[in-house]
Amino acid sequence: MHDGAYMIAAAARSAGIPPEVLPKQTDEDIAIGRKYTSSKECFPMICTTGSFIKKLMEPGSDPSKMSFFMPDHNGP
């Protein structure tokens, strides 16, 4: 989403929702994504899956208090 993610986070914050913008994907995110996908999906799906799972695996993360927002993507 690039910098647009920060605008959506600001809107959520104004509504009392504590947002967090995930950082740009790293090689570790991609490796995690490849582990949990068949690697036949589009590359953005692999990256996004890796980033989401990495966030869920962070110490102190409580999945019951988390949700992820992924806007529509008009890929190939």
pLDDT, tens digit, 9 for 90 and up, residues 20-35:
999 888 999 999 999 9
Among residues 73, 60, 57, 55, which one has the least CA distance to residue 19? 55
Report yes or no on whether pTM surpasses 0.75.
yes
The pLDDT assigned to 74 comes to 65
Residue 75 has a pLDDT of 57
42 located within any domain: yes
Q: Considering the domain boundaries, does residue 18 fall inside one?
A: no
State which residues of the chain have pLDDT below 70.
Answer: 1, 72-76
Per-residue pLDDT at 42: 87
Query: Is 30 contained in some domain?
Result: yes
Give pLDDT, residue 11.
Answer: 93
Query: Which residue is it, tokens 């993610």?
Result: 5
Q: Which stretches of 21-71 are DSSP H helices?
A: 27-35, 43-57
What pLDDT shows up at residue 51?
93
Whether residue 32 lies inside any domain: the answer is yes
Give the number of domains in the chain. 1
Does residue 17 form part of some domain?
no
- Domain residue limits at 27: 23-60
